[in-house]
Structure 1
Amino acid sequence: MWKHFKFDPRTINFSYDTDDKLSDFDVLLHSAWDRAVAEGQFKYKIDQNIKKRILDGDLHYVIELNPSRFDKRRLPDPFERVDTPFDKNRFNFNKIKDEEILFSLDDEQQTDKHLVIINNSPVRPYQVLLVPNRQLEQSQILTVDCILFALRVVASSAYPFMYVGFNSLCGYASVNHLHLHGIYMPNRLYIQTVKCSPFHVNSNCYLFDLFDVQGFAFEIKHVDEFDKIAQRINTVTNYLVSSDVAHNMTIMKGDSFSSSQPALRVFVWLRQSNIGAKTFHQWNIGCLELSGYTFLQYEEIFNDANEAKFRECINGVALSSEVQQKIRDDVKNLLDQ
């Protein structure tokens, strides 16, 4: 049986500029992940020394070479709508082996509400999947409980570049069973420091407009804000689902948008839908790529990549300026309520 980790708000860490490398949470995750490696639970051996580049430019975009992820992973399912219902006949996380479950993270010990499991085709070392309320068979639509789970994972880690990301259906999600990605990033990402404009300050909400792909950025400076901000994030994502707007979410530690203290930053980007099965081009634009990181299949593309190409690809999935303006207006009205 897997272990349980009890979330302790007294030990959380919001700083991304720290010498602390591993907390009790990190130690448990790493040891459980190493156990799964030793048991042969993964589809391929992940190289601890993945080939990496940090691209020249303002974003310091991070790319890594991981051909096995493309060659050996399970084929993604096709989706036509963001609100596609759960289908128990397709792959879902109730079909995984118990050995793929690393531990649970909950408010109380000895519960199995929120599971941390392996991704058996990992992006990089110690990547995990976060599966909330697995038995409820929820489709890939964010809930308040799921967002809280993600916030607790990032805050429980002492690692400065701990990352949690979410892809909606038609936003490059591969599985229609509610889950997020947890990744130990190799370097600081630009989203930890990028400036955003005030949007709805009473909701701790800012506007991300660095790319043509726009989004909303929330900040959390204290654990007591978790519930309140999770509700507001969910107000935005529920609206996007009801409007059939594909979206991506990322959570990392970073600078506060409004002060000099550290904060958790939560980005929700709105973008064009990818209809049908995910295809493997030079790179796909999901939560990772919007955040300043990607992994690539071919060494020649890896060697030829530059920031201008990534910006062009990201801008290519933007909604029209008119649609984005309507979404901003609607979201402002919702947050006013």
Structure 2
Amino acid sequence: MLSIKRVPTVVSNYQKEEGGEVLGGGCGRNCLKSCCIQGARLPLYALKRVDKVAEKELPLLGCKEHCSVAFLDSLILGEWEERMQRGLFRYDVTACETKIIPGEYGFIAQLNEGRHLKKRPTEFRVDKVLQPFDETKFNFTKVGQEEVLFQLEASDNGEAQFSPNAPIDVENSPSFVAINVSPIEYGHVLLIPRIFECLPQRIDHASFFLALQMTVEAGNPYFRLGYNSLGAFATINHLHFQAYYLAMPFPIEKAPTKKITKLSDGVKVSKLLNYPVRGLVFEGGHTLESLANAVSEACICLQHNNVPYNVLISDCGRKIFLLPQCYAEKQALGEVSAELLETQVNPAVWEISGHMVLKRKKDYDEASEANAWRLLAEVSLSEERYEEVTALVFQAIASVDLSVKPQCAEEVDSVSSGTQPAMVAGSQQCLVLQ
């Protein structure tokens, strides 16, 4: 068994200081378990049906002045800020120092000393991507109801709807959006699909489609959603995604790509070029569901083949990065240098995307593109292993799409370094149910 010791991230105020277990017995804490959930009510947002991600209608630089704020975007930020005013977070993330590291890619460094203070390292198994759910460990049914922002589901009639005080239908296991009490950035939330089914940390088609729908409907290119598998620095084995706002482009979003193939349902699959972590990029598709299915099929393949990975959904759901990695495995085998280990940086989806969350002032002051590149190069699979893994992925996709034919023609799509995403986009249309 391969394992590493790391400081676990505290995502809820009901996690124990050591081992990630729950404080107390559950009753009287206003939690989400049967002892407290009966009769509870929470806001409910029903997602509208979106068949396809809309093309960008306005130049990115001009969109800020012309686009209205999407209702879901306002809901997330409004509820998150209310929890901040109530003092539910472990520290004020808005006070964390942040800077853009000089260089071609503009890696982003944040000094976040509050994420690991007074925490003891815990042992995590890193050689099994698929592990059974363990009720005795901390899971999201043990969070306080005050940490939940709202329930999230698909609309029955295809139109967005919002109810500010809806009952919780435990039997149908709703999905929840909750705060991360150790935020990396402004608006840092957790999406927990079908929470009462107690699903382990593994992607399935339905949960990934929900995550993609949420990103699309938020309608804000600065709102990105990420996923970490077990073995790729997920520390809670209860299915969840993370998302937050950062008002600048991620370096990975600026990396050039080379087209590999186009599926019969219109999904284009490319590979990253000139970036320290090797990965695939999915975009397009005749429908939103076809894009979600292609990515989730690839994720399921990696899970079944025990390959740890991270996923980033960016550009309002138009672009999805799939990033197999091996840093934790190297760490467990003693193949990572002491210098990198001393930084205590856990390269999960945000770090791989270029947002380096640093815990020591020394590392922040000395942050450079070379240092960021050196860390992420250790995360990436070797060229040989990457080719083996992507062959498995395309084989899995081909089993459901017989049109998969890798193309040899050079087709490199680079994102202009001068392009800045618009801060807000979308529409305000939403039926509010009283």
Q: Identify whether the pair has TM-score above 0.5, normalized to the shorter chain.
A: yes
2:127 equivalent to 1:105? no
Instruction: Verify the 8 A CA contact 1:163 1:184 in the aligned structure 2.
Output: yes
Match of 1:269 among 311, 323, 327: 323
2:373 equivalent to 1:311? yes
**Residues in 2 aligned to 1:150 and 1:58: alpha-carbon distance in whole angstroms:** 31
State the Cα distance separating 1:12 from its structure 2 match: 7.2
2:125 equivalent to 1:64? no
2:362 equivalent to 1:300? yes
CA distance 1:206–1:317, change in 2 (3 Å): same
Match of 1:83 among 114, 124, 130: 130
2:188 equivalent to 1:127? yes
After alignment, is 154-163 or 66-75 more displaced?
66-75
Instruction: Verify the 8 A CA contact 1:70 1:280 in the aligned structure 2.
Output: no
SS in 2 for 1:22: coil
Look up the match of 1:191.
252
**Residues in 2 aligned to 1:103 and 1:97: alpha-carbon distance in whole angstroms:** 13
**Residues in 2 aligned to 1:12 and 1:46: alpha-carbon distance in whole angstroms:** 34
Instruction: Verify the 8 A CA contact 1:129 1:179 in the aligned structure 2.
Output: yes
Letter in 1 for 2:143: I
CA distance 1:101–1:23, change in 2 (3 Å): same
State the Cα distance separating 1:72 from its structure 2 match: 5.6
Look up the match of 1:200.
261
**Residues in 2 aligned to 1:239 and 1:168: alpha-carbon distance in whole angstroms:** 13
CA distance 1:163–1:72, change in 2 (3 Å): farther
CA distance 1:74–1:139, change in 2 (3 Å): farther
**Residues in 2 aligned to 1:280 and 1:147: alpha-carbon distance in whole angstroms:** 34
Letter in 1 for 2:275: F
Letter in 2 for 1:265: K
Look up the match of 1:233.
295
CA distance 1:21–1:316, change in 2 (3 Å): farther
State the Cα distance separating 1:56 from its structure 2 match: 1.3
After alignment, is 293-302 or 174-183 more displaced?
293-302
Look up the match of 2:101.
55
**Residues in 2 aligned to 1:251 and 1:190: alpha-carbon distance in whole angstroms:** 14
Match of 2:221 among 160, 163, 167: 160
Q: Deviations over 1:77-123 (max 9, x none)?
A: 61231111111100100111111110122112556622110111111
State the Cα distance separating 1:2 from its structure 2 match: 1.8
**Residues in 2 aligned to 1:21 and 1:308: alpha-carbon distance in whole angstroms:** 39
State the Cα distance separating 1:238 from its structure 2 match: 1.1
Compute the TM-score of the two structures, normalised by the length of structure 2.
0.69
Gaps of 5+ in 1: 255-262
Match of 2:72 among 3, 25, 36: 25
CA distance 1:76–1:13, change in 2 (3 Å): farther
**Residues in 2 aligned to 1:303 and 1:216: alpha-carbon distance in whole angstroms:** 32
SS in 2 for 1:71: coil
Look up the match of 1:260.
none
CA distance 1:127–1:75, change in 2 (3 Å): farther
Look up the match of 1:247.
309
After alignment, is 135-144 or 16-25 more displaced?
16-25
RMSD (Å) for aligned C-alpha atoms: 2.6
Gaps of 5+ in 2: 1-40, 156-160, 333-340, 400-434
2:275 equivalent to 1:211? yes
**Residues in 2 aligned to 1:189 and 1:273: alpha-carbon distance in whole angstroms:** 21
Instruction: Verify the 8 A CA contact 1:25 1:157 in the aligned structure 2.
Output: yes
State the Cα distance separating 1:211 from its structure 2 match: 3.4
**Residues in 2 aligned to 1:167 and 1:292: alpha-carbon distance in whole angstroms:** 15
State the Cα distance separating 1:13 from its structure 2 match: 6.6
Look up the match of 1:174.
235
**Residues in 2 aligned to 1:149 and 1:243: alpha-carbon distance in whole angstroms:** 24
State the Cα distance separating 1:186 from its structure 2 match: 3.1
SS in 2 for 1:251: strand
Letter in 1 for 2:154: D
Look up the match of 1:258.
none
Q: Deviations over 1:164-219 (max 9, x none)?
A: 01111010111110101111013111333432111221242111243353221101
**Residues in 2 aligned to 1:93 and 1:73: alpha-carbon distance in whole angstroms:** 20
CA distance 1:273–1:63, change in 2 (3 Å): closer
Instruction: Verify the 8 A CA contact 2:223 2:246 in the aligned structure 1.
Output: yes
Look up the match of 1:46.
92
State the Cα distance separating 1:288 from its structure 2 match: 0.6
**Residues in 2 aligned to 1:206 and 1:48: alpha-carbon distance in whole angstroms:** 35
2:321 equivalent to 1:281? no
SS in 2 for 1:33: helix
Q: Deviations over 1:10-36 (max 9, x none)?
A: 697765653047321121112211222
**Residues in 1 aligned to 2:101 and 2:68: alpha-carbon distance in whole angstroms:** 25
State the Cα distance separating 1:71 from its structure 2 match: 1.2
Q: Deviations over 1:115-156 (max 9, x none)?
A: 110111111221001100111111111111221122122212
**Residues in 2 aligned to 1:115 and 1:14: alpha-carbon distance in whole angstroms:** 29
Letter in 2 for 1:252: S
State the Cα distance separating 1:75 from its structure 2 match: 6.4
Structure 1 or 2, whichever has the larger Rg, is 2
Look up the match of 2:48.
8
CA distance 1:48–1:14, change in 2 (3 Å): farther
